[in-house]
Chain A
């Protein structure tokens, strides 16, 4: 008995020691992770982030993405009053047209109704703002400066006033008065002018009215059917540039498609040359494998930079950058798939007297097609995202439009629009590649 006891005691000790080691390891891993994250926390200066963060920018971003403002501007030097959506030239109201909440009287005065009973009157150089529950605010711009009269002795914190500039921000709108101009801004929910710009005869019409116009015969634009005119006005919308945006989306898709398919076509023959069972020559095999490693190791970023020097901005650079990077990836994956093919099928084809090329065509290709196609489709989806990124770097496709819209720091509604389009495109590619892949896999199962 004593003979067996000793090994059991030993084994018990060994097991206890193993448990102890494992427990120590399990405890150490979270500690190491925590220590690393703490290190990063200070390396990235996250405590200082609170100071650098521009929360006012965030507020502008959020507000701008679901609302728009209409500016009513009086040029205090010439006395002209103009109205424009977002204050941009493309959203300017044409002569004789104004929003229904602006009443123009005479050449140089206007009454602007803001929500919640607020009202602004511009009469020459004088601006009068009636704030319910506070009283009238009067500001007169002159060459010397701005003369501000308030109902209270002390200015409340929503009015910032100096000799050169008065800024009034209420929940109903915003008014700024400077020597050069008086500007009233009224906010509204939505994306303005998304379908029609102000110069289009279809602006402001409801969907029912538009449908009626399409059905009824009266032509609004001469020489053009109403449907064609409506589609044309939306397509050529200067504010949202639907035409350019759709072209850009298509360019992004084109980059992904050309890059992925081109890479697959280049990589397939190279994969045969780097697979052990098809290329017995070690030197050739190693050479091709190193080529794949090199293509993959030089990142898409470097390829993009190098290629953009030769081909300039546009979809060509993006397509070729994706093509080169993915030739490396596909080459590696395809050669692994080729090394796993069943040699018996090739023997079977050979036994019927097939020549080498026919052996590949009927003995190898049918075996690897499902794997290849499924990988290619997966990459097509992921490359749609890469194409957006490459477009942002080199200039092309929807990535370019996105960076342009972000750089202006004003068109956040466009940024949200582009983001929605990109997400829809990627989700669509994800869905379609999933459907095709499932089909291929079930077709494969059905065959066996």
Chain B
């Protein structure tokens, strides 16, 4: 009698659990379906809206998508013999673009090292200023380079310097955040040791922290350099020097100078791929991956 009753309650219990589990699974699946439906609706309506607010529609444009590359290729093909000369002609501009990226990465990284040390708990020279430094880096990161560059072009005139300053400022914000994340994992023991022998703050940082974090710093800086090359080409397009500026000139000239467009595309593509491979090779080496 007693055993039977216990079996009955046990069975009922299992049934309850099963029902609750199935209800939960159903609810989860429902949520999943609703989320998916909302997402699909957002994508579809967003696409419709973008289509409406554009000058050309997607349906018309998709047919013409190869027109421009086709024209460029055709013209470049006709003047294929001129291509090496054009590549040589635009090489100094390319060098300027790379120089802008390199100089701004270097300057930005140097400032970012200092700011990141000031923004890391346990290392900061003035712990009360940590939130201030962090907000400063947030703002630097949030302002797109193009905004600073356009304003600086108005003041300093067009040339590589506005682009360099703009990219460097953005780099400070972006690298500062990554560097301070690296700093948080640094061991405090060497710093305490240096402190006990009377080292100043800058000595503690230079001799105690930097050697620990240098490989990670370098790896992030290389990645930034690669991003900054792209940014520097884009800023050239809106008015500061480098290959972007030549591209804009050749492009707005239109038909007749498409061989130059092709040469610049080629140079830009080659440079980006080259530095992409170079930086990923050295980053893997630095962070100890195969």
Contact = CB atoms under 8 A, between A and B. Distances in A.
Interface of A: 33, 36-37, 40, 43-46, 49, 52-55, 57-58, 61, 247, 251, 254-255, 257-258, 261-262, 293, 296-302, 305-307, 309-317, 319, 385, 388-389, 392-393, 396, 399, 402-403, 406, 409, 415, 419, 422-423, 426-427, 430
Contacts of B50: 251, 254-255, 258, 314-316, 319
Contact of B233 (A299, A313, A314): A299
A310 B47 CA distance: 16
B69 A312 contact: no
Given A297-B272, A315-B50, A316-B51, A54 B142 contact: no
Interface stretch (B10-18, B126-134, B143-151, B184-192): B143-151
Report, nearest first, the 10 A-B pairs whose CB atoms are least far apart.
A314-B54, A312-B55, A312-B56, A309-B68, A316-B54, A311-B61, A310-B61, A315-B50, A426-B142, A297-B273
21 contacts: A36-B102, A49-B159, A57-B154, A57-B155, A61-B151, A297-B272, A306-B68, A309-B64, A310-B62, A310-B68, A312-B54, A313-B54, A316-B57, A316-B61, A317-B54, A388-B144, A389-B144, A393-B234, A406-B151, A422-B147, A423-B139
A282 to B, nearest CB: 19
Given A258-B47, A310-B61, A311-B58, A301 B230 contact: yes
Nearest to A325: B230
Contacts of A301: 230, 233-234, 237, 244, 247, 268
Contact of A422 (B43, B54, B144, B156): B144
Contacts of B7: none
A18 B147 CA distance: 48
Nearest to B51: A316
B75 interface: no
Contacts of B61: 310-312, 316
A37 B233 contact: no
A301 B235 CA distance: 10
A415 B149 CA distance: 13
B265 interface: yes
A388 B251 CA distance: 21
B272 A299 contact: yes
Specify the main secondary structure of chain A where it touches its partner: helix
Contacts of A389: 144-146, 234
Given A258-B47, A299-B269, 12 more contacts: A54-B154, A251-B53, A299-B230, A299-B233, A311-B54, A312-B56, A313-B54, A314-B55, A315-B50, A403-B150, A406-B150, A430-B142
Contacts of A316: 50-51, 54, 56-58, 61
Contacts, number: 177
Q: Specify which of A258, A299, A392 lies most central, judged by the most chain B CB atoms within 10 Å of its CB.
A: A299
Contacts of A61: 151, 154-155
Nearest to A309: B68
A385 B173 CA distance: 14
A82 to B, nearest CB: 29
Interface in B77-103: 96, 99, 102-103
Given A389-B144, A423-B142, A53 B157 contact: yes
A151 B238 CA distance: 50
Nearest to B273: A297
Interface residues of B, number: 60
B142 A427 contact: yes
Contacts of A311: 54-58, 61
A55 to B, nearest CB: 8
A305 B273 CA distance: 19
B224 to A, nearest CB: 13
B155 A43 contact: no
Contact of A388 (B69, B103, B146, B269): B146
B46 A257 contact: yes
Contact of A37 (B46, B103, B157): B103
A258 B142 CA distance: 21
Nearest to A423: B142
Interface in B16-66: 39, 42-43, 46-47, 49-51, 53-58, 61-62, 64-65
A54 B157 CA distance: 8
Contacts of B106: 33, 36-37
B181 interface: no
B62 to A, nearest CB: 7
Contacts of A313: 54-55
B161 interface: yes
A436 to B, nearest CB: 13
Contacts of B54: 311-317, 396
Contact of A315 (B53, B146, B247): B53
A402 B143 CA distance: 13
Contacts of B234: 299-301, 389, 393
Interface string B201-222: 0000000000000000000000
Given A316-B61, A393-B238, A403-B238, A302 B268 contact: yes
A46 B107 CA distance: 15
Contacts of B276: 293, 296-297
B55 A302 contact: no
Interface string B261-274: 00001001100110
Q: Specify which of B46, B50, B139, B164 lies most central, judged by the most chain A CB atoms within 10 Å of its CB.
A: B50
A423 B144 CA distance: 8
A255 B53 CA distance: 11
A49 B65 CA distance: 43
B108 interface: no
Given A297-B276, A299-B272, A52 B157 contact: yes
B270 to A, nearest CB: 8
B230 to A, nearest CB: 5
A251 B233 CA distance: 24
Contacts of A385: 142, 144
Given A403-B238, A406-B151, A423 B143 contact: yes
